[in-house]
Amino acid sequence: MEVKTAKFKETPAATKVTVSGAEAVIKCLLEEGTDTIYGYPGGAIMPVYDELYKYRDTLHHVLTRHEQGATHAAQGYARVTGKVGVAIATSGPGATNLITGIADAQLDSTPMVVITGQVGSHLLGSDAFQEIDIVGISTPITKWNYQITKASEIPEIFAKAFYIARSGRPGPVLIDITKDAQFASMEFSYKKCSGIRSYIPYPEVDPEAVQLAAEAMNNAKKPLIVFGQGVILGSAEELFRQVVERSGIPAAWTILGLSALPTAHELNVGMVGMHGNYGPNILTNECDVLIAIGMRFDDRVTGNLEKYAKQATIIHFEIDPAEINKNVQVQIPVLGDVKESLELLLNYLKPNEHPQWHQEFKKYYDQEYEKVIKNDLNANVGELKMAEVIDEINTCFKGDAIIVSDVGQHQMVTCRYAKFNSTRSNVTSGGLGTMGFALPAALGAKMGSPEREVVAIIGDGGYQMTIQELGTIFQTRAAVKIVILNNGFLGMVRQWQQMFFEKRYASTELVNPDFVTIAKGYHIKTNQVTERAQLKDAIKEMYDAQEPYFLEVKVEKEENVFPMIPTGAAVSEIRLE
């Protein structure tokens, strides 16, 4: 592949206009097709907000109640649309409040451009009021960042920022703009960026590597595919389905890969990882060829690396060279854009079925069903289980909803049991595991896909970390359906304390407020389920609502999530109880 250099298409001189730096920021966003941004105003970004007021009929600004909420909302918007999410805040604490969301986007490869205001350039380095080195702070957690001190820099930097954020392996970019650069005048013209010298977002696919991968897959007796979010980010879902169906290879997913292949697909064998399904975890250590597609061998997927798939020939389809051999040594690396790689792979892949190998997965599924799934879904007595709630949502929403989950036990239960018919339907915090992610992310997801139902599944702990975004939902009237699974604990930590710390529940039991009353205070329609008999009607009422809806479900206090791979154990040492 030819190495690309910077290419720009400049606005003709006759169309150039003189604007302030602040207005240039708005014009750049519009040039990049931005229609919605999430943010919170303040002194150092006030000139941009003044221009936003003038463009309020063209560019929709959503006032979140906290800057972290702005980043998570931008993430939710980006995850369901594939577009670049945009968040904006002022300097100092406004900028530092963005850090968690930026880090989350970096670890989960979410395209996002974050704009921060900064003190005047003459004050830089003087510890001025609300001055913070946000470029230095954000360097380890951004794909690229830049501080603008001159208005004339704005168009080129914004063009580069959007190009870098969305190209190759996506990620967050931060632009810090001094206040004097926002006030200064400039002659505006926009230069769309289509390449940057030395930056190669799409490595050239090696046909020989693809042929080697196809040969190994064709000759395998016990092959297993593990697919991640790279399939979704590369818009390769249809090609991936064809690869799975032609090869007949069982396919398991990471939590961010969920929904790339319909959950009901006959070759979808479930989730790998710490709370994944029994069969795909055990058989990872029995397969003869392991095909990793768009996933990065995260520690929650691999368990003990010294015992991970040592018997297998490992093929890794990956766009980021840094991920090849980072955690797991692979025999056949296939570097490049997944869509291009899979399209080429289909030329060499032979039809196959592997019936005996599939029976192994069925055997382990039957064991998991008897020990875990049956009890999770059909408790019938005692306190409500989390899986019963997810199952009723499946029944009512029929697998067509976007489901946004927070972090904890409810996240693992949601990923294990939620049904999805189409891609970009599962939104959750993977790599960073950010509690508080779901409520603002669900708002962004609903704004990105207003025609789809969006259901947020949140634990009572994480919910209170960003509960103030109920105000944003109330103000925007975004019809998000919010389900709180309330067990009165920080459930995942409590489970570990029970299993590995002799039930010493140190600082994990919660004394919660009246969640229903709080939601009513934001004028959001509410309901509460305390008995199993109430669940079906409550979910149906939520489904029928054409407005924001809050549902609290009281679930079993000390329920544990199984299967589970204990820390330090191999994937094949997964426990059913």
Q: Tell me the CA distances in angstroms from 392 to 389, 396, 453, 475, 533, one per residue in order.
A: 5, 6, 15, 29, 12
Please determine, for residue 540, whether its predicted confidence score (pLDDT) is greater than 60: yes
Q: Tell me the CA distances in angstroms from 78 to 81, 279, 317, 318, 433, one per residue in order.
A: 5, 33, 23, 21, 18
pTM value is 0.95
Q: Tell me the CA distances in angstroms from 553 to 222, 399, 442, 509, one per residue in order.
A: 42, 20, 18, 17
Looking up tokens 């592949």 gives 1
Helices (H), 274-354: 278-284, 299-302, 338-345
For residues 484-510, b (16+ Cβ closer than 10 Å) or e, as one string?
Answer: bbbbbbbbbbbbebeeeeeeeeeebeb
**543-567 confidence digits (pLDDT tens):** 999 999 999 999 999 999 999 999 8
**421-436 confidence digits (pLDDT tens):** 999 999 999 999 999 9
The pLDDT value given to residue 3: 36
Domains of the chain: 6-196 (3.40.50.970), 215-361 (3.40.50.1220), 378-554 (3.40.50.970)
Q: Tell me the CA distances in angstroms from 498 to 276, 382, 493, 504, 564, one per residue in order.
A: 20, 20, 9, 7, 13
CA distance 382 to 559: 11
Model confidence at 379, in pLDDT bands (50, 70, 90)?
confident
For residues 64-81, b (16+ Cβ closer than 10 Å) or e, as one string?
Answer: bbbbbbbbbbbbbbbbbb
CA distance 271 to 74: 27
**446-493 confidence digits (pLDDT tens):** 999 999 999 999 999 999 999 999 999 999 999 999 999 999 999 999
Six-digit token pair at 395? 């029944």
Model confidence at 1, in pLDDT bands (50, 70, 90)?
very low
Please determine, for residue 11, whether its predicted confidence score (pLDDT) is greater than 90: no
Six-digit token pair at 438? 């779901």
Strand-strand pairing, 426-428 and 289-293: unpaired
Q: Measured in Å, how far apart are the chain's first and last C-alpha atoms?
A: 51
**287-346 confidence digits (pLDDT tens):** 999 999 999 999 999 999 999 999 999 999 999 999 999 999 999 999 999 999 999 999
**37-93 confidence digits (pLDDT tens):** 999 999 999 999 999 999 999 999 999 999 999 999 999 999 999 999 999 999 999
The pLDDT value given to residue 6: 42
Is 112:71 a contact under the CB 8 Å cutoff? Answer: yes
Looking up tokens 């593990």 gives 226
CA distance 277 to 42: 47
Cis peptide before 563 (omega within 30 of 0): yes
* Exposure on the CB side of residue 196, measured as CA atoms within 13 A: 17
Please determine, for residue 15, whether its predicted confidence score (pLDDT) is greater than 90: no
Tell me what the pLDDT averaged over the chain comes to. Answer: 96
Active-site residue set: 67, 129-130, 179, 492
Bridge partners of residue 19, in order along the sequence: 186
Average pLDDT over residues 503-521: 97
Strand-strand pairing, 289-293 and 223-227: parallel
Q: Is 523 strand, coil or helix?
A: coil
